[in-house]
Amino acid sequence: MPPTIRPYAPDDAQATLDVFLAAIRVTAAADYTPEQLAAWAPDDVDLTAWAHRRAARRTVVAEVDGRVVGFTDVDPDGYVDMMFVDPAVGRTGVASALLAWAYDAAVRDGASTLTTHASLTARPFFEAHGFVVTAEQQPVRRGVTLTNFAMSRRLP
């Protein structure tokens, strides 16, 4: 059953934070060290600040059977800041549905390109959906260097 995509609501803060943490700590664990995972997904994420950040962006959530299993956002220029899926529903079409929403929203906004900073883990997903790497990056989180990729996909 395909997920339902709907706008983020204030009550989604904890569920989206849980998805974020699980996606990093479980799914990305194959590609990043424990030190990198701890820096990227620390135990002390402030839920109020998280909720404000999600609400300030055009965020949508994916639900399956009434449970939040993923989320994403896209700004008017076509930048996808976050896209995370609960590991329990990985490879079931949730990320593809979220990306389709972001694509459609960016096209409606008149963006010429969809862009993101994809993790080592997410890079193959984005490549499978027509994105190309434009740069390898080494962002630092809490003093720990990670690797991610600036990626883009032209829009019609």
pLDDT digits (tens, 9 = 90+) for 95-130: 999 999 999 999 999 999 999 999 999 999 999 999
Calpha distance 48→103 (Å, rounded): 28
Question: Is pTM, for the whole model, over 0.95?
Answer: yes
Mean pLDDT score of the chain, rounded to an integer?
A: 98
Calpha distance 125→91 (Å, rounded): 10
Residue 1 reports pLDDT greater than 90: no
pLDDT in tens, 9-54: 999 999 999 999 999 999 999 999 999 999 999 999 999 999 999 9
* β-pair partners for 116: 80, 151
In contact, 113 and 98? CB cutoff 8 Å: no
Contacts of 135 (CB under 8 A, 6+ apart): 149, 150
